[in-house]
Structure 1
Amino acid sequence: MLKTLMAILFAAGTLAAKADPEETTIIFVNSAEMETSVSPDPGLSQAGKEQAAQLVNSLEGTEIASIYSTYANRSIGTVTPLAEKRQQQLQYFRLNGDQELTSTVFKDMIKRNKGKTIVVCGDPEHIDAMMRAAGVRVKDARSLHDKGSGQALVVKVNKGRPALAQKLNMNIQKKV
């Protein structure tokens, strides 16, 4: 776990440190593991809470301008510890599957945070759609989507250049 944490810290710090004033870094985070529940909007399982804590630790030392979440309980639960640690308010967004709306919401996030680093958390389908709006290759987007909860992908967006994506694995290794 320490190796994974160090790799995440290095990658996040490197991405933030090399950013130019026009380059925005987006850390897309799939919602952490949800609890087993009959509720249509469940919270986080114990493993999900550990994934949320790992996110906080992994991004220690990375300057984050804004933290975005969908209204789903598991998304909110994933990034609330990060927002609380940094004393930042969560910014909420809602998507309905419409590609034009997704593109508009994403472009607004970039416009408001140009040249900064932001965290965007949602369910895989939301993150996948926003990554496509950013210009991330389908292969890179699928690598995040296919792995399920507790995954992160760092994307650098700079107008006129292709989006650059780097996958970060935040899964907590289980104790044997």
Structure 2
Amino acid sequence: MLKAVLMATLLATGTPVSAAEPEVTTLIFVNAAEMESSPSADPGLSATGLEQATQLASSLEGTEISAIYTTYLNRAVQTVTPLSKAHQQQLDYFRLNGDPEQTTATLKDMIKKNKGKTIVICSVPENITAMLQHAGVKGKIMKTLYDKGSGQVLVVKHSGNNTAVAQKLNMNIQKKV
């Protein structure tokens, strides 16, 4: 009875009654593009990888991106460099060491700084899989992203209550005929 009276009073005064919808942050996880065959410990991108990086930038043209995060690996940096140039944004670097607590803290910090916005996170499959797990994405989607190799993109809609909805995309180049 008290609840009904309170609701009626709030409605009569024009006070919103419904709980606010949680802000949704869009996380675009990018598996670093194809690397070159090189004896280097930190190889750059192959010709196909460079095409994938260019395709990523053109695929996200018109998308408002508030931050672009990347690890320090050459192939990850080179994957998002065309995107950062196209959006005239600097790259924000992060490092993960396999510690689950650090992974969670890094991801939470990225989301907190960009709440309700869209961010791009580029790394190697191992780091992305760990971050996806902490974002609340289910195992099957993570496995398909990991198994497909380079040039994969996963868009995750993350709400404040740690709910995540994921959609897998592919940035592989479509051959022109």
Indicate whether the TM-score tops 0.5.
Answer: yes
State the partner residue of 1:111: 112
Aligned to 2:120, what secondary structure does the other structure show? strand
Two-structure CA RMSD over aligned residues (Å): 1.3
Unmatched runs of 5 consecutive residues or more in structure 2: 1-20
Residue correspondence of structure 1 range 17-166 to structure 2 within 5 A: 22-160=23-161, 162-166=163-167
Q: Output the TM-score relative to the length of structure 1.
A: 0.86
Which residue identity is paired with 1:137? K
The 8 Å contact of residues 30 and 152 in structure 1, kept in 2 or not, is answered as yes
Quote the Cα distance in structure 2 between the aligned partners of 1:78 and 1:54: 10
Deviations 1:105-163 (A, max 9, x none): 00000000000000000000010000001000011111111110000000011022520
1:174 positional shift: 4.2
Identity, in percent, stands at 65
1:172 positional shift: 1.1
The 8 Å contact of residues 21 and 114 in structure 1, kept in 2 or not, is answered as no
Quote the Cα distance in structure 1 between the aligned partners of 2:22 and 2:146: 29
Unmatched runs of 5 consecutive residues or more in structure 1: 1-19
Count residues in correspondence.
157
Quote the Cα distance in structure 2 between the aligned partners of 1:173 and 1:118: 25
Which residue identity is paired with 1:37? S
